[in-house]
């Protein structure tokens, strides 16, 4: 597999969660996520609030990418995390391609290609630590677990 520190790569450097469905593509910045092993498969997990435009697209396809960029792209990632694909065609800002339903970015230094295995919704009744509720305004994340089916470096 790959050398991958999720605390650094996802938590500090951030990533783009990209999907393409029914002829439309979009991507959004994520900094909460996981990478590891589940059901004997290499996986990544993302947490997407239902209010995100990307959420609607990710419901329509089982494929997605998690893309990592050189640090000089941080401003661009900030833009992808501030502006919604509902309001602007964000993808105009980054050279990209869609092949077989998989959205990739030419400037990404690492791309994890995922195939959806499982989803569930964060249930506040299960918050053991009640302070977690402060992260939400009734917009509990949908948790998507993707099997990593390809790695592009």
| Least spacing, CB of residue 82 vs ligand FMN, in Å | 6
Q: In this structure, are strands 142-152 and 110-121 parallel, antiparallel, or unpaired? A: antiparallel
Tell which one of 9, 14, 65, 94 touches ligand FMN (CB under 6 A): 14
Contact 131, 92 (CB under 8 A): no
Binding to ligand FMN (CB under 6 A) within 34-73 occurs at: 47-49, 52-54
**DSSP SS3 for 119:** strand
In the set 32, 118, 127, 136, which binds ligand FMN (CB under 6 A)? 32
- Own/partner pairs, 85-89, CB within 8 angstroms, 24+ separation: 85/26, 85/27, 85/28, 85/53, 85/54, 86/53
Of 26-34, 103-111, 125-133, 144-152, the segment contacting ligand FMN by CB under 6 A is 26-34
Bridge partners of residue 146, in order along the sequence: 44, 116
Write down the least CB distance from residue 40 to ligand FMN, Å.
26
* Residues within the interface to ligand FMN (CB under 6 A): 14, 26, 28-32, 47-49, 52-54, 78, 81-86
């Amino acid at each position: 597999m790959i050398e991958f520190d999720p605390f650094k790569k996802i938590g500090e450097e951030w990533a783009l969660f990209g999907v393409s469905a029914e002829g439309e593509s979009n991507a959004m910045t994520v900094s909460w996520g996981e990478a590891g092993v589940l059901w004997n498969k290499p996986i990544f997990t993302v947490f997407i609030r239902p209010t995100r435009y990307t959420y609607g697209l990710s419901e329509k396809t089982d494929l997605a990418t998690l893309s990592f960029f050189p640090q000089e792209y941080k401003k661009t990632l900030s833009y992808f995390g501030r502006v919604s694909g509902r309001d602007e065609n964000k993808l105009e800002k980054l050279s990209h391609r869609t092949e077989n339903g998989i959205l990739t970015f030419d400037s990404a230094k690492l791309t994890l290609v995922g195939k959806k295995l499982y989803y569930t919704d964060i249930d506040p009744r299960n918050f053991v630590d009640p302070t977690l509720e402060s992260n939400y305004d009734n917009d509990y994340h949908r948790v998507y677990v993707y099997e990593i089916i390809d790695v592009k470096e």
